[in-house]
Chain A
Amino acid sequence: MAAAPLLEVSGVGKRFGGLVAVAEVSFAVQEGEIFSVIGPNGAGKTTLFSLLVGSQRPTTGSIRFRGEEIAGLRNDQVVARGLVRTHQIVRPFRDMTVKQNVSVGALFGSKQLRGEAAPAKVAEVLERTGLAARARVLAGTLTIGELKRLEIARALATEPTVLCLDEVMGGLNPAEIQGAMALIREIRKSGITVLMIEHHVHAVVGVSDRVMVLNFGRKIAEGRPQEVLRDPAVVSAYLGDEEGAAA
Chain B
Amino acid sequence: MKAPLTRSLVWFGVLAAGLLGAPAAAERGTLNDLWNVAFAIVLASAWNLLGGFAGQISLGYSAFVGIGAYTTVLLAMAGWNPWLTLPVAAALAVAFSVIIGLPTFRLRGPYFSIATIGVGEAVRVIASGVEFTGGSSGLRMPSGGFNFISNYYGMAVLALFTVAVVFFIHHDAFGLALDAIRQDIDAAEALGVQSTRYKLLAHAVSAALVGAAGGLFAMNFQYISPGSVFDFRLSLSIVLMPIVGGIATLVGPVLGAVLFSYLQIKLLASPALRDSYLFIYGGLLMAVMLFEPRGMVGLWERLVRLRSRQRPQAAEA
Partners in one complex: yes
Q: Does B190 contact A (CB under 8 A)?
A: yes
Measured CB to CB, the closest approach of chain B to A205, in angstroms, equals 28
Q: Does B276 contact A (CB under 8 A)?
A: no
Q: 12 A-B Cβ contacts within 8 A?
A: A55-B189, A55-B190, A79-B190, A91-B187, A91-B190, A93-B188, A100-B179, A103-B176, A105-B192, A107-B173, A107-B176, A109-B192
Q: Does B314 contact A (CB under 8 A)?
A: no
Binds B, one of A3-11, A37-45, A80-88, A179-187: A80-88
Q: Does B81 contact A (CB under 8 A)?
A: no
Q: Does A96 contact B (CB under 8 A)?
A: yes
Q: Which of B186, B192, B194 is within 8 Å of A158, CB to CB?
A: B192
Measured CB to CB, the closest approach of chain B to A50, in angstroms, equals 10
Contact indicator A104/B191 (Cβ below 8 Å): yes
Contact indicator B179/A96 (Cβ below 8 Å): yes
Contact indicator B190/A84 (Cβ below 8 Å): yes
Contact indicator A105/B173 (Cβ below 8 Å): no
Given contacts A104-B193, A108-B192, contact A87 B187 (CB under 8 A): yes
Contact indicator A79/B191 (Cβ below 8 Å): yes
Q: In the complex, A104 Cα to B177 Cα: how many Å?
A: 7
Looking at chain A, what size class is its interface with the partner chain? 20 to 34
Q: Does B306 contact A (CB under 8 A)?
A: no
Contact indicator A91/B186 (Cβ below 8 Å): yes
Residues A13-60 near B (CB distance < 8 A): 53, 55
* Closest residue of A by beta carbon distance from B188: A104
* Closest residue of A by beta carbon distance from B183: A93
Residues B150-184 near A (CB distance < 8 A): 173, 176-177, 179-180, 183-184
Residues A111-157 near B (CB distance < 8 A): 112, 114, 118, 138, 154-155, 157
Contact indicator A76/B192 (Cβ below 8 Å): yes
Q: Does A95 contact B (CB under 8 A)?
A: yes
Known: A100-B179, A108-B194. 4 other contacts (CB 8 A): A94-B183, A96-B179, A104-B191, A107-B176
Contact indicator A104/B189 (Cβ below 8 Å): no
Q: Does A193 contact B (CB under 8 A)?
A: no
Q: Which of B177, B183, B189 is within 8 Å of A95, CB to CB?
A: B183
- Interface of chain B, helix or strand or loop or mixed? helix
Contact indicator B191/A84 (Cβ below 8 Å): yes
Q: Does B1 contact A (CB under 8 A)?
A: yes
Q: In the complex, A94 Cα to B187 Cα: how many Å?
A: 11
Ordered nearest first, which 6 A-B pairs have the shortest CB separation?
A79-B192, A108-B192, A91-B187, A93-B183, A75-B189, A107-B173
Contact indicator B192/A53 (Cβ below 8 Å): no
Contact indicator B186/A104 (Cβ below 8 Å): no
Q: In the complex, A92 Cα to B190 Cα: how many Å?
A: 11
Which chain A positions have C-beta within 8 A of B177?
104, 107-108
Given contacts A107-B176, A108-B177, A114-B173, contact A155 B183 (CB under 8 A): no
Q: In the complex, A3 Cα to B230 Cα: how many Å?
A: 63
Q: Does A208 contact B (CB under 8 A)?
A: no
Measured CB to CB, the closest approach of chain A to B165, in angstroms, equals 20
Q: Does A189 contact B (CB under 8 A)?
A: no
Q: In the complex, A107 Cα to B192 Cα: how many Å?
A: 9
Contact indicator A104/B184 (Cβ below 8 Å): no
* Closest residue of B by beta carbon distance from A85: B190
Q: In the complex, A235 Cα to B90 Cα: how many Å?
A: 66
Which chain A positions have C-beta within 8 A of B194?
76, 108
Q: Does A224 contact B (CB under 8 A)?
A: no
Q: Which of A55, A95, A96 is within 8 Å of B186, CB to CB?
A: A55
Q: Which of B173, B187, B192, B195 is within 8 Å of A93, CB to CB?
A: B187
Q: Does A200 contact B (CB under 8 A)?
A: no
Contact indicator B1/A76 (Cβ below 8 Å): no
Residue among B177, B189, B192, B195 with most chain A CB within 10 A: B192
Contact indicator B180/A93 (Cβ below 8 Å): yes
Measured CB to CB, the closest approach of chain A to B305, in angstroms, equals 15
Given contacts A103-B176, A104-B176, A114-B173, contact A109 B191 (CB under 8 A): yes
Contact indicator B189/A74 (Cβ below 8 Å): yes
Which chain A positions have C-beta within 8 A of B193?
76, 104, 108
Contact indicator A76/B195 (Cβ below 8 Å): yes
Contact indicator B191/A154 (Cβ below 8 Å): yes
Which chain B positions have C-beta within 8 A of A105?
191-192
Given contacts A93-B183, A96-B183, A104-B180, contact A80 B173 (CB under 8 A): no
Measured CB to CB, the closest approach of chain A to B291, in angstroms, equals 20
Which chain B positions have C-beta within 8 A of A109?
191-192
Residue among B180, B184, B195 with most chain A CB within 10 A: B180
